[in-house]
Structures are given as C-alpha cells and as structure tokens.
Amino acid sequence: MPVHRPGTAAPLTPRTRRARFGVAGALLAALSLLFTLPGAATAADVPARGEATMGMGVAAHDGDTGQGPVGRATQTEGVDTSSHNGNVAWSTLWNSGVKWAYVKATEGTYYTNPYFAQQYNGSYNVGMIRGSYHFATPDTTSGATQANYFVDHGGGWSKDGKTLPGALDIEWNPYGAACYGLSQSAMVSWIHSFVNQYKARTGRDAVIYTATSWWTQCTGNSSAFGATNPLWVARYASDPGTLPAGWGFYTMWQYTSSGPTVGDHSKFNGAYDRLQALANG
C-alpha cells in the first residue's frame, strides 16, 4: 500500500486512477463528437469577404463525379480565374487548347480582384477572347448598384472581337444562408435589376452563371431570363444535366474545378467562330 507522507498529495489508488481516466475519456469522446457532428461549422469554414470564387459551392452541394465531357459536339475550351489563381500562366493554357477566359473583376460593392490586370490583359495578350465576371451578393446592395460597380471596375464591354459580355455569378452564398435571405420572388427581382442595369450601361445582355439546383431553390426555377441572357451552367459531371427553366440550351458549361493549370474549366457550346460571334454581339 502506498505511504502518505504529511504535507504531500495523497497517492492515487488504482480505483482513483480508473475513475480519473474514465472522466478524461468521457470528455475526449464528447469533444470528438462535437467536432464531427454534421453542421458543426466553425468560423474557419466561412471565407473572408471577397474570397468567393466561381463555382466554389458546386462540388459541395451538387457533387463532383470526377468525369469530364463525354461524346459532346464541337466545343471550345475555356477557363475562369480569380485572385485565388494569382498570376496565371496564360501561354501554358493557350498552348493546351484554351481559347477563352472569364476573370473575376468584382464582388458586391466592396471588392476588386488585385490580380485582375494580369489575368484580364494576360489572357488577351496570348490571343484569347476574354470577359469578366461579378460575384453577386444580393444581401448587401441592390442589383443595379452592383451592376454599376462591376462596369466601373472592369466589367465593361467593347466590340473589338475579343471581349465577351460580362457574366453574373449567382450561386450559393459562401458567407451565410444559401439564398442570401431573399425570397424566390425577391431574388428574381434582384437579378432583373442587375441584368437590366448592365444592359443599360453596356448594350449587352449579361451571361448568367449558375447551377440548376441553386436556381431551383432560390428563384423557384424562374424562366424569366432564358430568352435574353446566355446561360453558363455549372455541373461537375460527364454532361450538364437538366438546365434551369427557360433555357433550351447552354452557352457555356463549367464541367470541372480540377482542370490543368487553372482548376475551373468550361466548354463553350460551339466552335470558335460562334465564340467570336458572342463576343461581337
């Protein structure tokens, strides 16, 4: 039996040791459960404002089969970039067959891409047809306000045969509620506000980038834009799947977020001369 000297802590008996280990084990198990419970998100899961990238929610919400396009008609390869990509190796992409690009210009009315000049001008300088896109945050300011911010910070258009109409990236909210706290009708109104103002400023109908599942959830699968705005659909699979209501075909399809050189790769639904036609309006 252990000897207890006066002035020192009482020695642990085997029973005491077992009891303490049992309490510690229970605490560790509880902590493990806490951090593995579905939905136990922490602040670290939410990106900083401005860090949103095109399609960042697609794999998480719609999945990613890891398969690219199979048996498609003539299509033209493209990419999209943001500050996440830094300085892009445009000559490498061009030599691999990429002929067009969209570059993130703005987000909300609080962010501009610090790599915009290198990406927007660099793609043009190697021969690509390029355009810019705006990541929408419908919970911060109106659609018209964000369209103006976009046009004023790189989202304009010119009929030079090398500039695509601006794209509205409208998808899952990386900072909070998926639909930004808007009702389906309010979301449709916000999108109308953006695309109407963009056309008023540039003379072009903006491309709408979205995923069918988000569009269905957050606009009620509105068919209001199919007759005017080219569709850029996101789906990481061997085919684009069911399109949002109102569109009988897609203009572009983002089919992967893990392509070579730049992760986000897309197909323009046609040959190069049709891509030029879109650029020229």
> Interhelix angle for 184-202 vs 143-152, to 10°?
30
Total count of residues recorded for the chain: 281
d(Cα 136, Cα 143) in Å, to the nearest integer?
Answer: 8
d(Cα 124, Cα 117) in Å, to the nearest integer?
Answer: 10
From the list 80, 107, 205, 264, the catalytic residue is 80
Q: CA torsion sign, 28 to 30 to 34 to 36? A: positive
- Annotated active-site residue 51? The verdict is no
List, in order, residues 6 or more apart from 199 with CB less than 8 Å away: 205, 206
From the list 62, 107, 169, 205, the catalytic residue is 169
d(Cα 146, Cα 152) in Å, to the nearest integer?
Answer: 10
Rounded to the nearest 5 degrees, what angle is found at the Cα of 257, between the Cα atoms of 81 and 173? Answer: 75
Q: What is the b/e burial string over 139-158, where b = at least 16 CB atoms within 10 angstroms of the residue's CB?
A: eeeebbebbbbbbebbbbbe
Tokens of 167: 């794209």
d(Cα 123, Cα 19) in Å, to the nearest integer?
Answer: 67
- Annotated active-site residue 169? The verdict is yes
From the list 62, 107, 171, 205, the catalytic residue is 171
- Annotated active-site residue 80? The verdict is yes
List, in order, residues 6 or more apart from 28 with CB less than 8 Å away: none
Q: Which residues are catalytic?
A: 80, 169, 171
